[in-house]
Structure 1
Amino acid sequence: MPHVVTQACCADASCVHACPVNCIHPTPDEPDFATAEMLYIDPDVCVDCGACVGACPVGAIVPDDRLTTGEQVFLDLNAVLSTPSRPYPPQAPVPPIRRLENDRGRAGHPLRVAIVGAGPAALYTADELLRQPGVEVTVFDRLPVPHGLARHGVAPDHARTRSVTDLFTLIENQPGFTYRLGVEIGRDLGVDDLAAHHDAVVYATGASTDRPLDIPGAGLPGSMSATQVVSWYNAHPDHVDARVPLDHERAVIVGNGNVALDVARILATPAHSLAGTDISPVALEALRGSRVREIVVLGRRGPAQAAFTLPELIGLASRDDIDLRVQAPDGIDPGAASDRQRSLMLDCLADVAARPPRPGSPRIVLRFQAAPVEVLGEDRVQGLRIAATELTTRDGDVRAVPRPGTEEVLDAGLVLRSVGYRGVPVPGVPFDPATGTIPHRGGRVLDRPGGSEVPGAYVAGWIKRGPRGFIGSNKTCARETVDALLADANAGLLGRAGAAGR
């Protein structure tokens, strides 16, 4: 019996390299790996050995005879994605990484690396470094607990995805790994302090804030970011006491990525169904008294440009306790898809749009071609003015333009913006405000965009490449950065700044 991938890919690729017959695709060396929303297993090649099951850090691979009712759709999805099959080598190539060539470990002078941040990018970076002889890693984070968005950004009802922290625990237990939690760089320590006591510093601080919603009324109480709500129900120390008003029947989320779907699903899920998850007790109690019965998820563009992924949509569509609705003014055209996964997504949206309503169930409305104009209210949010949009194409990019005379008001007590994450500057470290990232060249920090390299300073994760990709995408990103760091160490370019501090 073949095995089946049953959720969005974490992009770690451990399963790919564990497979002895190269039946899991796309692999990291294939051009569509970086953009694939999920991997698939070719049922004609799979030999049912189960090696991928143990390798997957989020428990997403299941034998086809153990699929739940809600997962059966992934059996067909894997088969569709693997057709037509392509010629593949017998085994997926493992990307090489250089080795630390000197004898520092045995000479008593280990290569000491500081990593700022304790999320997935930081932990993958630490793992790659600790595979080398004679390396010591200290991970700094301002929070008292590690794992970043893997802990505070994954919905509590996605237990499989949250289980990636088990992999991080294995990394933390390696010899040479040390945490310094509750330490904020720029407040408790400066970048000069780090450079004085370490041979190299890797900044992996992620993208910890959200992009603003630049419309009138966005500052009213009850208008907040979806990021805050996610942090609230995940007990993030900065947001555990946030006030999320749930006293109106409707909430509106501006933006339709996976975070928006996560928040909509949590708000629509009965509190008793969340009681067995890792949700914050404060949030659970608030949800017990919630009056929210409809969550409208707004997308400026059409279904073909939806920002959520196919597995997230399938998971939501399979819920029989939620009335999922789709509003697409210009219809849903699977022929407008850019690839097979996007075509399957449009097919799924069309199926949902054709469903009869489910009276009595909490409702989530995926509303396309609708742009926010103004958040309405006096002392708090009372509604959102929106306008219908029409789609135009410029330089191959599909854009949404408001249609004059089409404005309407959605009554709501909560308006959430979910229009993307953004990096925050680290005091003393170069920062590009245009991109919200640390400027770099192949992972080496630059003193300005396109400028000169800063000796001994490196960057990994979302603060390096912007907020895109999945948890495991940071593994490939970390390998590039570590490869650059090791090249500099082998060339004798590291260790000079730290020598005076030892």
Structure 2
Amino acid sequence: MGAGPAGIYAADLLDKSGANVEIDLFERMPAPFGLIRYGVAPDHPRIKGIVNALHKVLDRPNIRLLGNVDYGTDLKLDDLREFYDAVIFATGAMADRALDLPGIDLEGSHGAADFVSWYDGHPDVPRTWPLNASSVAVLGVGNVALDVARVLAKTADELLPTDIPANVYEGLKASPVTDVHVFGRRGPAQAKFSPLELRELDHSPNVEVIVHPEDMEFDEASVAELRSSKQTDMVVKTLQEWAIRDEGTRPRRLHLHFFHAPAEVLGEDGKVVGLRTERTEYRDGKVVGTGEFHDWDVQAVYRAVGYLSSHLPEIPFDHTAGVIPNQGGRVLDLDENQVPGVYVTGWIKRGPVGLIGHTKGDAAETVANLLADADTLAAPRHSSPDAILEFLAARGISFTTWEGWGKLDAHEKSLGEAEGRERVKVVERDEMVRVSRA
């Protein structure tokens, strides 16, 4: 269940295992590729290039895509057991992790995942977004925080060559933003973004990246991190270079702040009017508040403090960790006994950390354990490949296929060609299904 990178990597490994397998990849969206289509910023074509490798997997004859099918609504676990020896859940993480902060529920306070879904043209979110702030705060210093900050700070015309839909372009075009402030509780040595992601911030001709010299502080623990990680060292060197350079004249500014813990989202008449942060210190691997507070004049706040997986019907779920309880990908019930024939991989297995490629290791472990269990798996009642298609059709489910994705892919490229762009993404679910099933 799930045709994003995690699910496709699992299908790839099963197919290459030498076992006699037929694999169906169910996907809630009418189109495949999950996080790559609906979680990667539109100005990241390098990352989206991973689609080319995933495409080759889905091209194989014994791997079948069944899109626009929602587990828990269109199918339940007992249904799947009627048709399959085993089920792997690879449904990822698309919700925002909560942040316990006074004022976090004010109008103008948003989750980063919701904003990402909007600018990536997710069919299940509203078509408009309230871009009416001239000064914005982003809480978090991971890659998603930088994506959000970069999309907010760039001009709409800079993003026009990408696949952003028309409604996203129009929304960003009307944005009055001049300043975007990114806040991290820890120091620069503890930032979670990659060196490449950081350097890309400075490529815009319209966005001045500003780092404050007073934030370039390093205790012994931070120095040790720099010495032990080449990636961390590269991030810090880039930040240090930006901290000592003269500020330029680009019309928009993106500020990177470290040692600032959010203390309160300030409001007036139910709306965001500011952010209060506490100056922190990093001592022996711990963040310590100094009691020094600063109020920032912002009219919107975006929290980018992590994604969260959603509980699936009939499947055990650890609500604290936000994962399906498992041992090596084998799903465990409340008594920590293995649930027969049910497996898990990807972010819903280990939590939303790491890059897309890291899910390959998850898939390898899960597939190895599934194959080890092969002789103990209960055979399904219906073994014909057509049986599930007849079942879905009888339920009136307008499912899409890999062939249908080819039609939608060509349609989006034709829309882009008409505008001198590589692609224009179709947003509406009904339209995606109509084109795919034409």
Report whether the alignment pairs 1:401 with 2:283. no
Question: Within 5 A, what are the aligned runs for 1:39-118?
Answer: 116-118=1-3
1:205 equivalent in structure 2: 91
- Pairwise CA distance, 1:399: 2.7
1:15 equivalent in structure 2: none
CA contact (8 A) 1:445 1:457 kept: yes
CA pair 272-317 structure 1, distance change in 2 beyond 3 A? closer
The secondary structure found in structure 2 opposite 1:129 is: helix
CA contact (8 A) 1:225 1:417 kept: yes
- Pairwise CA distance, 1:499: 3.5
Question: Aligned to 1:495, which of 343, 358, 378?
Answer: 378
Q: Deviations over 1:191-236 (max 9, x none)?
A: 1111221100001011121111211211122111111111111101
Report whether the alignment pairs 1:364 with 2:254. yes
CA contact (8 A) 1:246 1:413 kept: no
Q: Distance in 2 between matches of 1:459 and 1:328?
A: 45
Question: Within 5 A, what are the aligned runs for 1:174-213?
Answer: 174-213=60-99
CA pair 360-314 structure 1, distance change in 2 beyond 3 A? closer
- Pairwise CA distance, 1:371: 1.2
1:354 equivalent in structure 2: 244
1:383 equivalent in structure 2: 274
Question: Within 5 A, what are the aligned runs for 1:9-408?
Answer: 116-131=1-16, 132-243=18-129, 245-327=130-212, 329=214, 331-333=216-218, 335-336=223-224, 337=226, 338-377=228-267, 378-393=269-284, 398-404=285-291, 406-408=292-294
- Pairwise CA distance, 1:133: 4.7
Q: Distance in 2 between matches of 1:168 and 1:347?
A: 35
CA contact (8 A) 1:371 1:386 kept: yes
- Pairwise CA distance, 1:318: 4.2
Q: Distance in 1 between matches of 2:355 and 2:123?
A: 23
Q: Deviations over 1:150-198 (max 9, x none)?
A: 1111111111211211222221111122222222111221111112211
The secondary structure found in structure 1 opposite 2:272 is: coil
Alignment RMSD (CA, Å):
1.8
Q: Deviations over 1:276-302 (max 9, x none)?
A: 101122111111111101110000011
Q: Distance in 2 between matches of 1:332 and 1:391?
A: 9
Matched residue type, 1:288: K
Matched residue type, 1:356: D
CA contact (8 A) 1:328 1:369 kept: no
The secondary structure found in structure 2 opposite 1:495 is: coil
Segment drifting more, 187-196 vs 327-336:
327-336
Q: Distance in 2 between matches of 1:274 and 1:493?
A: 52
Matched residue type, 2:377: L
Query: If the length of structure 1 is used for normalisation, what is the TM-score?
Result: 0.72
CA contact (8 A) 1:445 1:454 kept: yes
Q: Distance in 1 between matches of 2:98 and 2:124?
A: 18
1:462 equivalent in structure 2: 347
CA pair 120-255 structure 1, distance change in 2 beyond 3 A? same
The secondary structure found in structure 2 opposite 1:472 is: helix
Which structure ranks higher in relative contact order (CA pairs < 8 Å, sequence separation ≥ 6)?
2
**Structure 2: tracts of 5 or more residues without a match:** 385-438
Matched residue type, 2:280: T
- Pairwise CA distance, 1:328: 5.5
The secondary structure found in structure 2 opposite 1:375 is: strand
- Pairwise CA distance, 1:403: 2.1
Aligned residue pairs total 377
1:71 equivalent in structure 2: none
- Pairwise CA distance, 1:448: 3.3
- Pairwise CA distance, 1:408: 2.2
Q: Deviations over 1:392-414 (max 9, x none)?
A: 33xxxx2323222x222212121
Segment drifting more, 173-182 vs 318-327:
318-327
CA contact (8 A) 1:376 1:383 kept: yes
CA pair 360-175 structure 1, distance change in 2 beyond 3 A? closer
CA contact (8 A) 1:432 1:448 kept: no
CA contact (8 A) 2:215 2:257 kept: no
Which contiguous aligned blocks of 4+ residues in structure 1 show a shift greater than 4 angstroms?
Answer: none
Matched residue type, 1:472: G
Query: If the length of structure 2 is used for normalisation, what is the TM-score?
Result: 0.82
Q: Distance in 2 between matches of 1:167 and 1:475?
A: 13
CA pair 242-216 structure 1, distance change in 2 beyond 3 A? farther
Q: Distance in 2 between matches of 1:281 and 1:473?
A: 33
CA contact (8 A) 2:128 2:171 kept: no
Matched residue type, 1:354: I
Matched residue type, 2:28: R
Report whether the alignment pairs 1:481 with 2:366. yes
Question: Aligned to 1:452, which of 337, 340, 343?
Answer: 337
CA contact (8 A) 2:215 2:258 kept: no
Matched residue type, 1:494: L
Question: Aligned to 1:425, which of 296, 311, 316?
Answer: 311
CA contact (8 A) 1:232 1:280 kept: no
Matched residue type, 2:279: A
Q: Distance in 2 between matches of 1:305 and 1:264?
A: 18
Q: Distance in 1 between matches of 2:128 and 2:365?
A: 38
The secondary structure found in structure 2 opposite 1:308 is: coil
Q: Distance in 2 between matches of 1:399 and 1:327?
A: 22
- Pairwise CA distance, 1:240: 4.5
